[in-house]
């Protein structure tokens, strides 16, 4: 039995969540994104409706109802790197905006993604509020922190929390629990994702750069990725890419560094997208590299989403099948 379950995506970014769900067999109905440059990238890769602008200005009544609501909502209020204000921060109100969509659309599944620190923020109180608000709407509530290198077969150390909630009215199983995928063995290496050819000169560090001596001394292993830290170079000894961040797009030397037979250089935007699991046929527009770096750092790891979406689909199809059998027997 084939079901064409539909997805609506809030805080869509460049579409990492959307692509993961699409690859798993879902139909994308609409998405919303505020950042105008992320919208340029998104529209280059998807054909469905993209509503550009502030989610706070959206009225859920104006949008087509969907089966799955996804939201990689702003992580600043819950991030170690942020101000740790949680719901006191105005950006924390985004979660309550998501609740408006849940109340209006009553999706079969709510899929939320955030930084792993959400779990411990404010001694766990922030997470308690999220859990209570979702549960009191008669949804299940399951969550897990997954690392890209363990669940996406991508050599990228990236831990994120995923919250998955099913409408109990649809599942019709009081004991239902979403089972997260099993860890898998990492078979890809850094070198599988690094471009083999010489890239544009602007990505290389030439001898006239003040940190060249430090790079020459420290960046010695072609199987490793390095980070420049003002006065020293840090080697990632776990043979994976360190967590890519949005501030890669803020200039300086925030982009991870590698050595190749052509010299020392930064990862290119394409390589950063590869480390987030985007395929090479995912189109990168002709906008500044700083925007592309920011987009890659802000994105989710697409293969992790695809695995989760595939599990969600199995559960939805089982529930739909059982519901149909029940209706036939009445």
Q: Cα(105)–Cα(97) distance, rounded to whole angstroms?
A: 13
The count of structural domains within the chain is 2
Q: For the chain, give the percent of residues with pLDDT over 70.
A: 92
Both 217 and 178 in a single domain? no
| Residues spanned by the domain of 137 | 6-184+300-329
Q: What single-letter DSSP state applies at residue 58?
A: -
The residue-averaged pLDDT of 312-320 equals 95
The residue-averaged pLDDT of 91-101 equals 84
**pLDDT at residue 129, as a whole number:** 87
The residue-averaged pLDDT of 139-153 equals 98
**pLDDT at residue 104, as a whole number:** 97
Active-site annotation holds for 75 = yes
Could you tell me if residue 73 is inside a domain?
A: yes
Out of 18, 39, 75, 272, pick the active-site residue: 75
Average pLDDT over the chain, rounded to an integer: 91
Both 243 and 324 in a single domain? no
**C-alpha torsion sign, points 166, 172, 1, 64:** negative
The residue-averaged pLDDT of 170-187 equals 94
Could you tell me if residue 120 is inside a domain?
A: yes
Both 78 and 175 in a single domain? yes
The CATH number given to whatever domain includes residue 194 is 3.90.120.10
The CATH number given to whatever domain includes residue 119 is 3.40.50.150
**pLDDT at residue 85, as a whole number:** 60
**pLDDT at residue 189, as a whole number:** 96
**pLDDT at residue 81, as a whole number:** 46
Name the β-bridge partners of 166: 109
Can you give the C-alpha Rg of the chain in angstroms? 21
Both 179 and 229 in a single domain? no
**pLDDT at residue 328, as a whole number:** 76
Per-residue pLDDT tens over the stretch 179-234: 999 999 999 999 999 999 999 999 999 998 888 999 999 999 999 999 987 778 88
Q: How confident is the model at residue 94 (pLDDT cuts 50, 70, 90)?
A: confident
Angstrom CA distances, 221 to 217, 224, 260, 270, stand at 11, 6, 9, 21
**pLDDT at residue 175, as a whole number:** 87
For residue 238, the surrounding DSSP H or E stretch is none
Both 47 and 169 in a single domain? yes
**pLDDT at residue 245, as a whole number:** 92
Both 324 and 206 in a single domain? no
Could you tell me if residue 315 is inside a domain?
A: yes
Q: Indicate the length of the chain as a whole number.
A: 330
Both 96 and 230 in a single domain? no
Query: Residue 259: which of 300, 212, 295 has the closest Cα?
Result: 212
Both 14 and 147 in a single domain? yes
Both 170 and 311 in a single domain? yes
**pLDDT at residue 75, as a whole number:** 55
Q: How confident is the model at residue 167 (pLDDT cuts 50, 70, 90)?
A: very high
The residue-averaged pLDDT of 241-251 equals 88
The pTM for the full model equals 0.93
Both 197 and 153 in a single domain? no
The residue-averaged pLDDT of 143-149 equals 98
> For 116-256, where are the E strands, in sequence order?
142-147, 159-166, 225-229, 232-236
Could you tell me if residue 260 is inside a domain?
A: yes
Both 166 and 88 in a single domain? yes
List Cβ neighbours of 67 (8 Å cut-off, separation of 6 or more). Answer: 5, 6, 7, 107, 108, 109, 316
The answer to which of 6-15, 110-119, 180-189, 316-325 has the lowest mean pLDDT is 316-325
Per-residue pLDDT tens over the stretch 101-145: 999 999 999 999 999 998 887 778 888 889 999 999 999 999 999
The residue-averaged pLDDT of 80-95 equals 60
**pLDDT at residue 198, as a whole number:** 97
Could you tell me if residue 1 is inside a domain?
A: no
Both 246 and 196 in a single domain? yes
Structure tokens at 165: 């909630």
């Amino acid at each position: 039995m084939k079901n064409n379950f539909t997805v609506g995506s809030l805080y869509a970014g460049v579409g990492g969540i959307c692509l993961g769900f699409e690859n798993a067999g879902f139909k994308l109905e609409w998405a919303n994104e505020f950042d105008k440059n992320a919208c340029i990238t998104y529209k280059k890769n998807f054909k469905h409706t993209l509503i550009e602008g502030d989610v706070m200005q959206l009225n859920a009544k104006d949008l087509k109802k969907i089966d799955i609501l996804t939201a990689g909502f702003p992580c600043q209020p819950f991030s170690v790197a942020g101000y740790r204000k949680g719901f006191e921060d105005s950006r924390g109100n985004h979660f309550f905006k998501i609740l408006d969509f849940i109340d209006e659309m009553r999706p079969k599944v709510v899929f939320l993604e955030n930084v792993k620190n959400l779990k411990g923020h404010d001694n766990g109180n922030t997470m308690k509020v999220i859990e209570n608000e979702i549960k009191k709407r008669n949804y299940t509530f399951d969550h897990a922190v997954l690392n890209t290198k363990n669940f996406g077969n991508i050599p990228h150390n990236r831990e994120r929390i995923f919250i998955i909630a099913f409408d109990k009215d649809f599942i019709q199983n009081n004991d239902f629990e979403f089972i997260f995928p099993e860890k898998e063995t990492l078979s890809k290496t850094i070198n599988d994702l690094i471009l083999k050819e010489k890239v544009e000169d602007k990505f290389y560090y030439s001898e006239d750069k003040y940190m060249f001596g430090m790079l020459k001394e420290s960046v010695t292993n072609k199987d490793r990725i390095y980070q420049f830290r003002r006065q020293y170079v840090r080697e990632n000894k776990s043979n994976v890419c360190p967590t890519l961040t949005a501030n890669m797009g803020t200039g300086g030397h925030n982009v991870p560094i590698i050595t190749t037979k052509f010299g020392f250089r930064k990862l290119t935007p394409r390589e950063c997208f590869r480390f987030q699991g985007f395929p090479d046929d995912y189109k990168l527009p002709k906008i500044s590299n700083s925007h592309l770096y920011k987009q890659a750092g802000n994105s989710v790891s697409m293969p992790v989403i695809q695995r989760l979406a595939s599990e969600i689909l199995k559960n939805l199809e089982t529930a739909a099948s059982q519901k149909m059998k029940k209706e036939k027997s009445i």
